[in-house]
Amino acid sequence: MTFADPFSQTISSQANVARAVAELRRGGAVAVAAGNDAAIAIAAEVIEEPGFAWLLAAAEVPSNQGGARLLLTQERAARLGLTGQPSLERFRLLALPGACSADVARQIVDPTAEPIDLALLELAPASDVPAPLCQAVIELVKAARLLPAAVVVPMPLAKLDAFVAAPFRLAAGDVIAYRRAAASGLKRVGSARVPLAGGAIGGKAGGSAIETEIIAFRPLDGGKEHLAIVIGKLDPSRPVLTRLHSECFTGDLLGSLRCDCGDQLRGAIDEIAKQGSGVLLYLAQEGRGIGLVNKLRAYELQDAGADTLEANLQLGFGPDERVYQPAAEMLRQLDIGSVKLLTNNPEKVKGLAQCGIAVVERVPHVFPANDHNERYLSTKAIRFGHMF
Summarised one tens digit per residue, pLDDT across range 196-238 is 987 544 444 456 788 999 999 998 877 889 999 999 999 999 9
CB neighbour list of residue 192: distance below 8 Å, 6 or more residues apart: 213, 214
Are 159 and 214 contained in the same domain? no
Please give the pLDDT value at position 194: 94
Instruction: Give me the torsion for CA of 231, 236, 241, 247, rounded to 10°.
Output: 60
Mean pLDDT of the chain: 87
Q: How much is the pLDDT for 8? A: 45
Higher per-residue pLDDT: 283 or 259: 283
Phi-psi region of 86 (alpha: psi -120 to 50; beta: other; left: phi over 0): beta
Same domain, 61 and 128: yes
Give the tens place of pLDDT for each residue, 139-191.
999 999 999 999 999 998 988 889 999 889 999 999 988 877 777 789 999 99
Q: Residue 246's domain is classified under what CATH number?
A: 3.40.50.10990
In sequence order, the 6+-apart residues with CB closer than 8 A to the CB of 278 are 231, 232, 234, 240, 241, 242, 243, 272
pLDDT of residue 205: 45
Positions marked active-site:
320, 322
Q: Percent of the chain, pLDDT > 70?
A: 86
Q: Which residues sit opposite 92 in a β-bridge? A: 72
Question: Same domain, yes or no, for 131 and 243?
Answer: no
Kindly state the greatest CA–CA separation across the chain.
Answer: 73
- Work out the pLDDT band at 385, boundaries 50, 70, 90: low
Per-residue pLDDT, 2: 44
Instruction: Report pLDDT for 171.
Output: 93
pLDDT at 99: 79
| Number of domains the chain is built from | 2
For residue 372, pLDDT beyond 80: no
User: Are 230 and 366 members of one domain?
Assistant: yes
Question: Do 91 and 167 fall into the same domain?
Answer: yes
> Which CATH number covers residue 90?
3.90.870.10
Range of the domain at 230: 185-285+322-383
**Structure confidence by residue, pLDDT tens digits, 74-96:** 999 999 988 766 666 789 999 99
Q: Are residues 108 and 145 in the same domain?
A: yes
- The predicted model gives 17-28 an average pLDDT of 93
- Kindly tell me if the per-residue pLDDT of 306 is higher than 60: yes
Residue 115, judged by CB atoms within 10 A of its CB (0-12, 13-18, 19+), counts as exposed
* Boundary residue ending a domain (129, 148, 179): 179
**How much of the chain exceeds pLDDT 90, in percent?**
63
Which of the pair, 170 or 385, is modelled with greater confidence? 170
Tell me, what's the pLDDT at 345?
Answer: 87
Residue 388 pLDDT: 57
Checking if the pLDDT of 282 tops 70, the result is: yes
Given a cut of 70, is residue 319 above it in pLDDT?
yes
